[in-house]
Amino acid sequence: MKYWLMKSEPDVFSFNDLKKRPKKTEPWNGVRNYQARNFMRDEMKIDDLVLFYHSSCEIPGVAGIARVSSETYPDSTQFDQKSEYFDPKATVENPRWFLIDVTFKADMKSFVSLEEIKKHKILSGMKLLQKGNRLSILPVTREEFEFIVQLGN
DNA sequence: GCCAACGTTGGC
DNA sequence: GCCAACGTTGGC
């Protein structure tokens, strides 16, 4: 079992939006970064736990808990010429981008802001806090995961 | 295989 | 809106 942090811009797709989806599930499409793709293609497994993080917004931070709910499969938006995520170099026979589905798991009593995360020494090693980090999917340790969940409850 | 130019991310 | 940091692209 692994633990992850996945970023989303709440103006585009928030934790609340995930809860409102049919089956509270969303294919995590549109990732066009190879490292993040490799996590989804090679390392993320069903029932891995996810901190759902709001980025590029007024108060960035962890909004809730989700889980990985599918095996990896090709991101269909790469084949869709009308999609902003269309990739002319990808083919159905040889897809370039892969994803997993994400499903709502649990609410937290309170939002855990980035500001709060920065206050705790135990979280100081988080990849999220490393300078210049821009990855939209990051591994977190079990200790980090549990500490943040506890901060929100 | 180098590297300049360019695009994107994301906190502030 | 700014800008640092980083990833990607493409000419050579």
Domains, chain A: 3-152 (3.10.590.10)
Residue A15's pLDDT is 98
DSSP H helices, chain A, are 15-20, 34-38, 114-118, 142-151
Question: Over 90: is that where the pLDDT of A35 sits?
Answer: yes
Spatial distance between the Cα atoms of A116 and A69, rounded to a whole number of angstroms: 29
Residue A123's pLDDT is 96
Question: Over 90: is that where the pLDDT of A18 sits?
Answer: yes
Whether A121 sits with its Cβ under 7 A from any strand C atom: the answer reads no
Give the nucleotide at minimum CA-to-C1' distance from A134. B9
For residue A4, give the H/E element and its range. Answer: strand A3-8
Whether A55 sits with its Cβ under 7 A from any strand B atom: the answer reads yes
Residue A129's pLDDT is 95
pTM of the model: 0.94
State phi, psi for A16 to the nearest 5 degrees: -65, -35
Spatial distance between the Cα atoms of A51 and A69, rounded to a whole number of angstroms: 14
Mean pLDDT of chain A: 95
Q: What mean pLDDT do residues A20-44 have?
A: 96
DSSP H helices, A79-136, are 114-118
Instruction: Give yes or no for a contact between A27 and A99, defined as CB atoms under 8 angstroms apart.
Output: yes
Q: What mean pLDDT do residues A78-91 have?
A: 90
Residue A81's pLDDT is 87
Q: What pLDDT digit, counting tens, does each position of A137-153 carry?
A: 999 999 999 999 999 99
Chain position carrying tokens 């991101």? A75
